[in-house]
Amino acid sequence: MFTYSTKPYKGNGFSINTIPYGHLTLLPRQFRAHRDLLRRRIKLVSIRSGISIYLNLFEDQNNLKHSSADLRRNVKSSLQFMDLQSFLPEDAAMARNYQLNADLLKLFTDQLKQIDKDLVKFTLDSQFKEEFEIVKSMKGIGDILGMTLVYETHDITRFKTPGDYASYCRVVKCKKESAGKNYGYSGTKMGNPNLKWAFGEIALLSKSDPVMKFFADDLEQRHGKRKGRSIFTHKICRSIYFMLLRKQPFDHIEFFGRQKYERLTQKVH
């Protein structure tokens, strides 16, 4: 599916031309640290969410006052959590546990906000500014998802077809069949897991557009929830490919076709 490189790679066994070229194209050195920071940021958000959920469960289990989701997202000081509660002297260990998680939540919240600002500023000042603004023209793609698409894709021209790109993004599977028998799928771990995550998020968030939501819901009704969502995600992936290749922002008519878009618009309204 990918183009194979003929350039020899010393000491790595790549000279036999068995490794797809698309996997060997390296992001320029000055961007790798930012890409790695972005990947780490996504992991840290997951950890922060776990701490927030733990605080919620901790409050339930110990009959404490509930801290609001807004407070957990925008906490100014970890002491705000302690001010909500009135622990007894014999509950010192409980209070320490609560304070520990409140401190961690505050730390993660502050650091993640600063990381987001730094990454966006760097991207807007880099050669990826145009691509970043292009992908963000699609509803549901914000700063983090936009940067993920840009840094993980790097150079869209290394993929000869949208099918190659979709395969690299893990939004399509390789079905194995022989003599009419289905032997499952192969290569499910090949490709880029970060792009797979990004397109899964985009497929959900793009439904904030009424026309996209109607189209996605219709696919799920016709094909079932799982297959319908997969078709919708694949279509979004192909759209991003052509947006980056042609340097054009998102256009509903390009995505659906003029006649189909007009029909969908009439049904929505």
Q: Do residues 51 and 113 share a domain?
A: yes
- Report the chain's mean pLDDT, rounded to a whole number: 87
**Full-model pTM:** 0.83
Query: Is residue 87 assigned to a domain?
Result: yes
Q: CA torsion angle for 243, 247, 249, 252 (degrees, to 10)? A: -50
Q: Which tokens in the block code for residue 205? A: 């968030």
Last residue of a domain, one of 70, 97, 124: 124
The span from the CA of 139 to the CA of 78, in Å, is 35
Q: Do residues 170 and 113 share a domain?
A: no
- 47: which residues sit within 8 A by CB, 6+ positions away? 108
pLDDT, tens digit, 9 for 90 and up, residues 83-115: 988 888 888 999 999 999 999 999 999 999 999
Query: Is residue 141 assigned to a domain?
Result: no
pLDDT, tens digit, 9 for 90 and up, residues 38-58: 999 999 999 999 999 999 999
The span from the CA of 235 to the CA of 216, in Å, is 10
Residue recorded with tokens 């993004």: 169
The boundaries of the domain holding residue 259 are 160-268
The span from the CA of 203 to the CA of 166, in Å, is 14
Query: Is residue 240 assigned to a domain?
Result: yes
Q: Do residues 251 and 200 share a domain?
A: yes
Query: Is residue 254 assigned to a domain?
Result: yes
Q: Do residues 99 and 170 share a domain?
A: no
Q: Do residues 177 and 102 share a domain?
A: no
Q: How many domains is the chain built from? A: 2
pLDDT, tens digit, 9 for 90 and up, residues 192-209: 999 999 999 999 999 999
Query: Is residue 15 assigned to a domain?
Result: no
Q: Average the pLDDT over each of 2-6, 76-80, 227-231, 257-261 and give the range with the smallest value.
A: 2-6
Query: Is residue 131 assigned to a domain?
Result: no
Could you list the beta-strand ranges (E) of the chain.
174-178, 181-186
